[in-house]
Amino acid sequence: MPLDVHIIECLEDNYAYLLRCANSGRTVIVDTPDPDKILEEAGKIGWDIDEIWNTHHHWDHAGGNDKIREATGAKVVAAASEADKIGHVDRMVSHGDYLRVGENEAEVLDVGGHTSGHVAFYFGGADTVFTGDTLFNLGCGRMFEGDPEQFLTSLQRLKHLPGATSVYCGHEYTVKNGEFALTVDPDNTLLQAYVQMAKEKRARNEPTVPSTIRAERGANPFLRWDDPVLRSRLNMDEARDAEVFAELRRRKDAF
């Protein structure tokens, strides 16, 4: 079914996403970094916000819930395991639950690691996933609450989505992520082209989202833990997958 996505650039480098069913007009906002900007954008395009979906509890993803809820009457949907940290939640969801934006159905995916209860929203019929701070273009989120095994499981879940799936992430970090990625995978021609494209888009002040699962599989080191060339460069040919991921995350944290 048709799913319209309106990208809203918020704060310094956040993204929020207005989702609208083209047939029913039902509208959802994924994450609420800047409620004033979101309400302004929704008003400009004439979309009434019916629901708020939070990927995780951090303030720059859920901090605008109350103001938007009070202005629109929108219902808040969030992970059951993070509801106490988010505050007012009308519907608590868990992995495998389904949500709807009009005629469009989204599956809730457990993608914990950045926060323990982080979720993503996958619209299989629209080939679209909203990954919050779990999977970025050419990167992944910091491991604030999870552990390497949990985070790896989450990334595996996203990596195995269909390659054509559009990926909408929570921040504009692509160029910086790409600069790091080139330090661990410098001969990857897909990565080289991706970074160049990202730099050109940012020079034009254009967002680098969405990416695709296929593009991330080919260029994002955090989805390439099993690549023998990358493992060799890390001197981790025989290491467990979670160990390779943890080393990549350690290096990125220090980059």
Binding site members for Zn(2+): 56, 58, 60-61, 114, 133, 171
Number of residues that this document lists for the chain? 255
Say which of 31, 50, 56, 57 is annotated catalytic: 56
Say which of 31, 34, 50, 114 is annotated catalytic: 114
In the 8-state DSSP scheme, what is residue 115?
S
Asked about 171 being catalytic, the answer comes back as yes
Beta bridge partners of 51: 28, 75
Q: How many CB atoms lie within 10 A of CB 198?
A: 23
User: What is the number of alpha carbons within 13 Å of residue 32 lying toward its C-beta?
Assistant: 26
Asked about 61 being catalytic, the answer comes back as yes
Say which of 31, 58, 110, 118 is annotated catalytic: 58
In the 8-state DSSP scheme, what is residue 131?
E
Closest to 30 in 3D by CA, of 38, 111, 92: 38
The pair of structure tokens assigned to 124 is 């299989």
d(CA 91, CA 40): 25
Place of tokens 């296929």: 214
Say which of 31, 34, 50, 60 is annotated catalytic: 60
Say which of 34, 118, 171, 185 is annotated catalytic: 171
Asked about 56 being catalytic, the answer comes back as yes
Could you list the residues known to form a binding site, using ranges.
Answer: 56, 58, 60-61, 114, 133, 171
Say which of 31, 34, 50, 61 is annotated catalytic: 61
Cβ neighbourhood burial of 156 (10 Å; 0-12, 13-18, 19+)? middle
Catalytic residues: 56, 58, 60-61, 114, 133, 171
